[in-house]
Amino acid sequence: MLAEPSASPRSVPTLPLPRPRTERSGTAAPGRRRYWIRLTAALALLACVTRLPSFRWPLWNPDEGYLAVQARILASGGELYDTVVDRKPPLVPWLYQGAFALFGDESLMPLKVCAVLAQLLTALLLASLARRRWGDPAGRTAGALHLLLSIGLNPEDTQAATFEVFMLPATAAAMWLADRGRWAWCGAAVAAAFLAKQTGGAVLVPVLWLLWRCGAPRAAGWRLAAGGALPVIAVALATGPSGFLFWTATGSGAYASFTGSELHVLSRALTNSLLLSAACAGILPPVARVLRIARTGAVELWLWLGSAALAVTLGFHFFGHYYLQLVPALALLGTAALQILPRDRLPTALLTTACAGVLFLAWGLLAPRPELAHAQKVAATVKSRTEPGERVLVWGMHPETYWLADRAPASRYLTAGFLTNYSGGRNGPQVGEKYAVEGAWPVFREELTSDPPALIVDDSRGKPFAPDETPSLRRILAAGYERAGVVDGAVLYARMR
């Protein structure tokens, strides 16, 4: 339960207890239907408004580009974890592949709509959790808070239709199902969260607390375990157990290291923490005040937030989109805190949160996108210099160039990060060939030897994975390619005939 009675109610304030369940009656059912119809319509409108910037650009970050290229390769007969690889589970790549099969692969518009629906579903599930405990107003508050807080970071992190956005509905569904004692389905929701992104499995921590707290029989634990394990096993078998295990778990040791980029990583962690704190300015004071004067009793909410915070920390990268995992728990904690404080605190909290949301919305609508403009320039040049059936290699961290140019990649490794351990800012000693994914360079050399790309684009632009710092790539260029021009800092190499 999300609220427990205090051990000493006469001396310590507590949150309101969950309202007891009542049997459905003919008069109550229409009221419930009206409530949910109105709330769904209002939250749908808010979801569309908060994600309006996502429709302004073709894509928002390299993750969207990576997923788009993956989906094209899979649609043409490729195999995940073989002919195209990534350090992520397959659920979101399959979603992209399915959307491309239905609507074509020239636009991410269907995925952007799916992202709106994912955030709306998350908000509705949180609203249901809150309403069941604290009444109708709490449901509205929780849903609105989630949607407003979900854009409280750099727009490149919040507006992209990527892994975290599609993970959130599964995490919220896991808590919703656990709260109702539907343990097999709860396990399946945990599995779905994990299969969207590995850190989604962190929701298992508050789920296990709820299982223990409600005193469920041992059979409930077995149902939870079976519901969680079977989908993961099925996906592992479908994609190949060894490849699935390597790319989702065991093959990312160097990538997850903190060594070599300490100041850069800590700066990013601080920046994104401050951004999300600014978005939460309306609810952090109420939460802090409730902590000071009351026992909230919402242990599973704190476990949810704590496990999500640990998930953000894993890998020591602290990218802004990682922080989206904190939002559902923060929205419920804010709602919980506002139930015990005077009623006049609620409008102030919501207004402050809405004002912060407007600022982040304006950021998303008005800020320029220089990296996207760069990728578009390079892609236009690649498209003009190659034929549709020819393969190219973009040596950089912008896989969206392949998608924008409509050219197939020459390697299963869509970024230089797999071959050098560079990861969007790692600038220390652990960048170079010897820190590549195990076995990647022999495969890469074979790919470029057996079917040489018509064009190689060095898009390193002075970063530590440049060809001058990568002997194997430098030899490949010297043996069969000649410099053919420069586009916005990216150097083109054409294959010698």
Q: 172-187: per-residue pLDDT in tens? A: 999 999 999 999 999 9
Residue 24 clears pLDDT 80, i.e. is over it: no
Question: Considering the domain boundaries, does residue 289 fall inside one?
Answer: yes
Residue 8 clears pLDDT 50, i.e. is over it: no
Residues 342 and 381 in one domain: no
| Mean pLDDT to the nearest integer, 368-381 | 97
Residue 200 clears pLDDT 90, i.e. is over it: yes
Q: Among residues 336, 366, 396, which one ends one of the domains?
A: 366
Residues 341 and 438 in one domain: no
Enumerate the β-bridge partners of residue 485. Answer: 492
Amino acid in position 198: Q
Phi, psi for 270 (deg, rounded to 5): -65, -45
> What distance lies between CA 103 and its chain's CA centroid?
23
User: Using an 8 Å Cβ cutoff, are 384 and 403 in contact?
Assistant: no
Nearest Cα to Cα of residue 336 among 290, 371, 372, 279: 290
| Mean pLDDT to the nearest integer, 89-102 | 97
- The model's confidence at residue 297, banded by pLDDT at 50, 70 and 90, is low
Residue 239 clears pLDDT 60, i.e. is over it: yes
- The model's confidence at residue 425, banded by pLDDT at 50, 70 and 90, is low
| Spatial distance between the Cα atoms of 429 and 450, rounded to a whole number of angstroms | 32
pLDDT for position 254: 62
Question: Considering the domain boundaries, does residue 329 fall inside one?
Answer: yes
**For the chain, percent of residues with pLDDT exceeding 70:** 90
| Mean pLDDT to the nearest integer, 28-39 | 90
User: Using an 8 Å Cβ cutoff, are 56 and 368 in contact?
Assistant: no
Look up residue 84 and give its DSSP letter. Answer: B
Q: Among residues 326, 346, 366, which one ends one of the domains?
A: 366
| Spatial distance between the Cα atoms of 126 and 137, rounded to a whole number of angstroms | 13
pLDDT for position 260: 59
Place of tokens 């440049």: 466
pLDDT for position 54: 97
Question: Considering the domain boundaries, does residue 211 fall inside one?
Answer: yes
pLDDT for position 445: 96
Residues 212 and 117 in one domain: yes
| Spatial distance between the Cα atoms of 188 and 183, rounded to a whole number of angstroms | 9
| Cα–Cα distance list, 68 to 62, 79, 291, 422 (Å) | 10, 15, 45, 21
| Mean pLDDT to the nearest integer, 223-248 | 97
Residues 258 and 337 in one domain: yes
Residue 263 clears pLDDT 50, i.e. is over it: yes
Nearest Cα to Cα of residue 2 among 128, 126, 122, 133: 133
Instruction: Give the 3-state secondary structure of residue 14.
Output: strand
Element (H, E) at 93: helix 91-103
Question: Considering the domain boundaries, does residue 9 fall inside one?
Answer: no
pLDDT for position 292: 72
User: Using an 8 Å Cβ cutoff, are 352 and 369 in contact?
Assistant: no
pLDDT digits (tens, 9 = 90+) for 320-354: 999 999 999 999 999 999 988 888 899 999 999 99
Average pLDDT value over all residues in the chain: 91
Question: Considering the domain boundaries, does residue 120 fall inside one?
Answer: yes
- The model's confidence at residue 473, banded by pLDDT at 50, 70 and 90, is very high
pLDDT for position 424: 61
Residues 298 and 394 in one domain: no
Residues 259 and 396 in one domain: no
- The model's confidence at residue 47, banded by pLDDT at 50, 70 and 90, is very high
Question: Considering the domain boundaries, does residue 13 fall inside one?
Answer: no
| Mean pLDDT to the nearest integer, 29-51 | 95
| Spatial distance between the Cα atoms of 145 and 353, rounded to a whole number of angstroms | 7
Q: Among residues 366, 390, 405, which one ends one of the domains?
A: 366
pLDDT for position 291: 78
pLDDT digits (tens, 9 = 90+) for 434-457: 989 999 999 999 999 999 999 999
Residues 362 and 444 in one domain: no
> What distance lies between CA 420 and its chain's CA centroid?
24
- The model's confidence at residue 12, banded by pLDDT at 50, 70 and 90, is very low
| Spatial distance between the Cα atoms of 368 and 60, rounded to a whole number of angstroms | 11
pLDDT for position 216: 85
- The model's confidence at residue 316, banded by pLDDT at 50, 70 and 90, is confident
Residues 360 and 374 in one domain: no
| Mean pLDDT to the nearest integer, 156-168 | 97
pLDDT for position 265: 83
Enter the pTM of the model.
0.92
pLDDT for position 14: 46
| Spatial distance between the Cα atoms of 256 and 181, rounded to a whole number of angstroms | 36
Count how many domains the chain has: 2
Question: Considering the domain boundaries, does residue 23 fall inside one?
Answer: no
Residues 491 and 379 in one domain: yes
Residues 234 and 383 in one domain: no
Residue 294 clears pLDDT 70, i.e. is over it: no
Report, in angstroms and rounded to the nearest whole number, the Rg of the chain calculated over CA atoms. 24
pLDDT for position 142: 98
Residues 189 and 92 in one domain: yes
pLDDT for position 384: 97
Residues 177 and 118 in one domain: yes
Residue 447 domain boundaries: 370-495
pLDDT for position 10: 36
Least confident of 147-151, 167-171, 334-338, 426-430: 426-430
Question: Considering the domain boundaries, does residue 270 fall inside one?
Answer: yes
